[in-house]
């Protein structure tokens, strides 16, 4: 699938960022990284990624606010967002979907499963474009 597909990773944990970066680059994706939500929103607006993977619990702006902000903006509203979180209660997942997340993946996650979910979401988005 990756024909110059740009993935924006937003997480304050450098270990998670590196793990995701390696996995996505091995599959041929172009990877951009932000260390907090505010930086993630700015990068999404200027770099126009094809998909955003965003942690929920971060400093400056959490992932729910990142999702709300990007989905409210005409320029970024169509970018699919997958929230990543250690918060795995049904309420947390519902809250993530309610603010506009296209998918919600709980930590710890299987990197290969995450890649499959990204591919599926990109195909759905492409089909609806």
Q: Which domains does the chain have, with CATH numbers?
A: 6-123 (3.40.50.2300)
The torsion angles phi and psi of 2, rounded to 5 degrees, stand at -60, 100
90-115 per-position pLDDT tens digit: 898 899 999 999 999 998 889 899 99
Taking only Cα atoms into account, the Rg of the chain, rounded to an integer number of angstroms, comes to: 13
- Residue 1 confidence class, pLDDT cut points 50, 70, 90: low
- Report if pTM > 0.75: yes
């Amino acid at each position: 699938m990756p024909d110059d597909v740009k993935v924006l990773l937003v997480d304050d944990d450098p270990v998670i960022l590196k793990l995701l970066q390696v996995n996505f680059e091995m599959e041929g994706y172009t990877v951009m990284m932000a260390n907090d939500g505010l930086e993630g929103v700015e990068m999404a607006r200027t770099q126009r990624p094809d998909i955003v993977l965003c942690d929920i619990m971060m400093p400056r702006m959490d992932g729910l606010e990142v999702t709300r902000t990007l989905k409210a903006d005409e320029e970024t509203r169509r970018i699919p967002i997958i929230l990543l979180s250690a918060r795995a209660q049904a309420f947390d997942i519902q809250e993530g979907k309610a603010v506009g997340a296209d998918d919600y993946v709980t930590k710890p996650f299987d990197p290969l499963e995450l890649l499959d979910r990204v591919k599926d979401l990109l195909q759905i988005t492409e089909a609806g474009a």
